[in-house]
Amino acid sequence: MIVREVEENEKNLYNKKVNHLVQSWEWGEFRRKTGLDVVRLGHFEGDHLEEGYQLTFHKVPLFPKKIGYFPKGPMPNTRMIAALKEEAKSKNAAFIKLEPNVVLASEKGEKDIIADFKNFGLIPSKKPLFTKWNFLIDLTKSEDSLLAAMHPKTRYNIKVAQRYGVEVKDSTDEIDFDIYLKLYFETTKRQKYFGHTPQYHKLVWETLMPAGMARVLMARYRGKPLVAWMLLNFKDTLYYPYGGSSLEHKEVMASNLIAWEAIRLGKNMGLKVFDMWGALSPKVTEKDPWYGFHKFKAGYGGLHVEYVGTYDLILNNALYKSLNMADRMRWLMLRMGRR
């Protein structure tokens, strides 16, 4: 078996092997448009692709080394780690951050995973990018079953929105994408969190929408847009990564209805899973600034899953420590500036 970069004419073979949106060929093309160095590696037995995955390499201002990022890939194995080390050396990277798209199984807990990963030279990361927890909704269930699994308050709020006559429609029109973008940045400013730039969202849209992998879902009340989500899809999964809302007419519960209509949209598209893109742990308290968002998602009765977590493959320990310290200082300054 050999490990090499996947070629353009092997795109379809590659997409059949990967199992998350951010590992898709199309997502890699979007990341390349943002200026990142995208590498797709394949484990080949002759012409047969056994395993494929992609990662990005990021330049760091004032530092001589890059950082690799490998999100939502498969479970690491010996051959993969060897390939990643070689790639990191060729790209002059201090370390690679890995976030496998692997749910912790009851028969093998986190301590066992950490022990296995330690043998690969992986250590638990001090800075996750994807959340360790998530809600996944089974779209193969009937609508009645999905509604029955929801929190009673969530079902009630959906009915409130329906009684008010809130309308939810999906769209791929540019004008609706612009409305989504406006609501998204109104929300980030209001809630004081750091979202991606307008250019980032536009590149996601321009790359994935023509491929049939992106759409806007919008809730309107009396013709006025109140909530807009950008939904992405890959293989059998619908993803809810980004959304924004208005402070107007909160009483009509447009956000509750748009989530239900997103679920119904996924079912109508013949998809099997609605991925809510992140959650907090079961031990979360109301003191957490993201508690409200977590509680909103929890209301839809999805399966609350825990992933194996975030790990770093270190190639240069001294620079690894310096980069982490610089990153902590950067975020501290950004948060102080936002306050």
pLDDT, tens digit, 9 for 90 and up, residues 89-127: 999 999 999 999 999 976 567 788 888 899 999 999 989
Decide: pTM greater than 0.85. Answer: yes
Query: Which pLDDT band holds residue 333 (cuts at 50, 70, 90)?
Result: low
pLDDT band at 164 (very low <50, low <70, confident <90, very high): very high
On whether the CB atoms of residues 76 and 98 are closer than 8 A, the answer is yes
Domains and CATH numbers, the chain: 2-128+307-338 (3.40.630.30), 133-305 (3.40.630.30)
pLDDT tens digit sequence for 150-159: 999 999 999 9
d(CA 156, CA 151): 9
Measured CA to CA in angstroms, residue 246 lies from 154, 181, 191 at distances of: 19, 12, 12
The pLDDT of residue 335: 56
C-alpha angle 183-189-195 in degrees, rounded to nearest 5: 80
Looking at the predicted structure, is the pLDDT value of residue 339 above 80? no
SS3 of residue 58 by DSSP: strand
- Predicted confidence band at 197 (pLDDT cuts at 50, 70, 90)? very high
Residue whose token pair is 């993201």: 290
Q: Of residues 23 and 114, which shows the higher confidence score?
A: 23
CA distances, 216 to each of 167, 185, 243, 265 (Å): 14, 15, 9, 11
Biggest CA pair distance of the chain? 61
Residue type, 277: W
Confidence category of residue 60, pLDDT binned at 50, 70, 90: confident
What pLDDT is stored for residue 62 in this prediction? Answer: 80
Q: What does the alpha-carbon distance between residue 146 and residue 154 come to, in Å, rounded to a whole number? A: 12
- What the block records as the tokens of 316 is 């240069």
Q: How far is CA 190 from CA 14, 187, 193, 245, 278, in A?
A: 40, 5, 8, 10, 20
User: CA 283 to CA 286: how far, in whole Å?
Assistant: 10
Give the mean model confidence (pLDDT) for residues 168-197.
94
Say if CB 225 and CB 283 are below 8 A apart. no
Q: What is the pLDDT of residue 225?
A: 98
Phi and psi, residue 208, nearest 5°: -90, -30
The answer on pLDDT for 64 being more than 90 is no
Residue type, 180: Y
Average pLDDT over residues 59-80: 93
The predicted pLDDT at position 63 comes to 82
Q: What number of CA atoms fall less than 13 Å from residue 43's CA on the CB side?
A: 17
Q: What is the pLDDT of residue 69?
A: 98
Look at residue 193 in the predicted model and tell me its pLDDT.
Answer: 80
Q: At residue 321, does pLDDT exceed 70?
A: yes
pLDDT bucket at 322, cuts 50 / 70 / 90: confident
**Per-residue pLDDT, 107:** 58
Q: What is the mean pLDDT of residues 50-77?
A: 94
Lowest mean pLDDT among 62-66, 222-226, 239-243, 250-254: 62-66
Predicted confidence (pLDDT) per residue in 265-320, tens digit: 999 999 999 999 999 999 999 999 999 999 999 999 999 999 999 999 999 988 89
Per-chain mean pLDDT for the chain: 94
pLDDT at residue 328 tops 90? no
Beta bridge partners of 99: 71
